[in-house]
Amino acid sequence: MRSRADSSLAERKRQLVADELRDAALMLLATKGFDVVTVDDIVAAAGMSRRTFFRYFASKEDVVVRFLADMSVDVITELAARPPAEPPSVALRHALWVPLAACNDHPEHSERARVVVRLILDTPALHARWLESQIQWRAELATELASRCGLDPHTDPYPRMAAGMALLALDTVLQQWQPGDDEQRLTELTDRAFAVVAPALDAPTTSPDAG
Amino acid sequence: MRSRADSSLAERKRQLVADELRDAALMLLATKGFDVVTVDDIVAAAGMSRRTFFRYFASKEDVVVRFLADMSVDVITELAARPPAEPPSVALRHALWVPLAACNDHPEHSERARVVVRLILDTPALHARWLESQIQWRAELATELASRCGLDPHTDPYPRMAAGMALLALDTVLQQWQPGDDEQRLTELTDRAFAVVAPALDAPTTSPDAG
DNA sequence: GCAACTGGTGACACCGAGTGTCAAGGAATA
DNA sequence: TATTCCTTGACACTCGGTGTCACCAGTTGC
């Protein structure tokens, strides 16, 4: 009986197919543009059937956006792991740095990540989906922040807005991400972006009786 | 020769058709949900052809989102009209209040506006489009802010992020907008949201030599 | 009054995204 | 070897969105 090993094998096979599909898709989409490449083109390049594509990805947009959306768990985990005494601006800066650091750790992946970011920012449909996935991040970050600060996320706007400001900083960094930027430059951009929102993130909480 | 009057007549006829389509669409979408209502349902209710719908609206999403997106010009105009000495948080708060005030001025429209906002926030595809249209707002607000503050929007992240924070405040207000809220309540929500971001909006500019 | 022109409309065909269904194949199990 | 489970491909279908063409109304020019 090796049912666990079997499931692992099946899992790896699935992962292999998903990777093949994703690689073919990203290559075509990034080089030719999102709108002109059809799903038929992608599956032809990957040597699979059209139906299989939609078994692995919910939509054409999903292939691209999942790349960034998957980072959310790491970010939340990191935020939860930051020392409670740390001011919100510092904790959030470290949490959102995690995916950026992951890019830098794998230079061969970094290039593709940057290309995907460019593709998303330049394609309205993808940009919209990316922002939509940020809504989920924001809710999760807000929940974590609320428990950190002992606030009620339903009555106090701070947690949600603090999360929104952190994601705004991330967005700003990504939009300024240029080809050839090294880790040094990325750190710089991140620091500057968080410096802008820090006064609001670390401000003493507004008196709740005002609202 | 009354070519101007003619064009005005044609214009009004077009407006009439567009209104008919929009009303039928909003009623169906708001009551039954965005996904279950097809364009065929809408044009059947409006008594027009499917093709005509797409001559007036770029997409099914467009009917709903245009409602909010059209407000952007008023906001930018108001921001440009605010006294230059006014701190950014105050100027932005007044600018973004314009569309909210417009809702309050027409109670019969206010109800529909709230329903549309609810529909957008509750429908992922619409929420994504709404955020996408906010990108345009943000760019325009950033340009206006940059000229107000004498900053270069390309090198300094402040204008873009300040605009983003203002829109974040608007988003927060809309999400907390409940049935039965009067102008008083809306003012309250707006004040609280802007109070959160104000420390960052009005902070002394970061030294540009840091980046 | 009649012909040409214009702009809006409906009908139709078409494409691409996405889904439901079913039969076939391949690997693990009894 | 027979059975079961999972994946896949093939096919048909819905729906959003577009291009095209013929039709009709109101206008312009003779």
Q: How confident is the model at residue B33 (pLDDT cuts 50, 70, 90)?
A: very high
Q: Does residue B209 have a pLDDT over 60?
A: no
Token code pair at residue B54:
């797409």
Tell me the C-alpha distance between A108 and A105, whole Å: 9
Q: Does residue A153 have a pLDDT over 50?
A: yes
Distance between A126 CA and the closest CA of chain B, angstroms:
10
B56 touches strand D (CB under 7 A): no
Percentage of residues of chain A with pLDDT beyond 90: 72
- For chain A, the DSSP string reads --HHHHHHHHHHHHHHHHHHHHHHHHHHHHHH-TTT--HHHHHHHHT--HHHHHHH-SSHHHHHHHHHHTTHHHHHHHHHHS-TTS-HHHHHHHHHHHHHHHHHH-HHHHHHHHHHHHHHHH-HHHHHHHHHHHHHHHHHHHHHHHHHHT--TTT-SHHHHHHHHHHHHHHHHHHH--TT--HHHHHHHHHHHHHHHHHHHSSPPPPGGG-
Q: Does residue B104 have a pLDDT over 90?
A: no
Q: Please list every residue in chain B whose beta carbon sits closer than 8 Å to the beta carbon of residue A176.
A: 157
Interface residue of A151, A158, A196, A206 to substitute, partner B, most B CBs within 10 Å? A196
Which residues fall within 8 angstroms of residue B182, CB to CB, at 6 or more apart?
B104
Q: How confident is the model at residue B8 (pLDDT cuts 50, 70, 90)?
A: low
Tell me the C-alpha distance between B211 and B206, whole Å: 10
Q: For residue A170, what pLDDT is reported?
A: 96
CATH architecture assigned to A66-203: Orthogonal Bundle (1.10)
| Closest residue on chain B to A184 (Cα) | B211
What is the rounded average pLDDT of the residues B86-100?
A: 96
Residues of B with CB under 8 A from a CB of A: 124, 127-129, 131-132, 135, 157-158, 160-162, 164-165, 168-169, 171-172, 175-176, 188-189, 191-193, 195-201, 203, 206, 210-211
Among A26-35, B168-177, B202-211, the minimum mean pLDDT is found in B202-211
| Closest residue on chain A to B129 (Cα) | A128
Contact A171 B192 (CB under 8 A): no
Range A3-57 classified under CATH 1.10.10.60: yes
What are the tens digits of pLDDT across the range A65-108?
988 888 899 999 999 999 999 999 999 999 999 999 988 888 77
Tell me the C-alpha distance between A37 and A60, whole Å: 10
Contact B192 A172 (CB under 8 A): no
A73 touches strand D (CB under 7 A): no
Contact B211 A200 (CB under 8 A): no
What is the rounded average pLDDT of the residues B178-200?
A: 94
Residue A21 (CA) to nucleotide C17 (C1'), in angstroms, measures 17
What are the tens digits of pLDDT across the range B137-183?
999 999 999 999 999 999 999 999 999 999 999 999 999 998 888 88
Q: Does residue B195 have a pLDDT over 80?
A: yes
- Residue boundaries of the structural domains of chain A: 3-57, 66-203
Q: How confident is the model at residue A191 (pLDDT cuts 50, 70, 90)?
A: very high
Nucleotide nearest to B16 (CA to C1'): C8
Strand D proximity: list residues 181-200 of B with CB under 7 Å: none
Question: Which residue among B127, B196, B201 places its CB closest to the CB of A132?
Answer: B127
**C-alpha A4, offset from chain centre:** 31
Residue B114 (CA) to nucleotide C10 (C1'), in angstroms, measures 35
Between chain A and chain B, the number of residue pairs with CB atoms below 8 A apart is 98
Top-confidence residue, B93 or A180 = B93
Q: Please list every residue in chain A whose beta carbon sits closer than 8 Å to the beta carbon of residue B152.
A: none
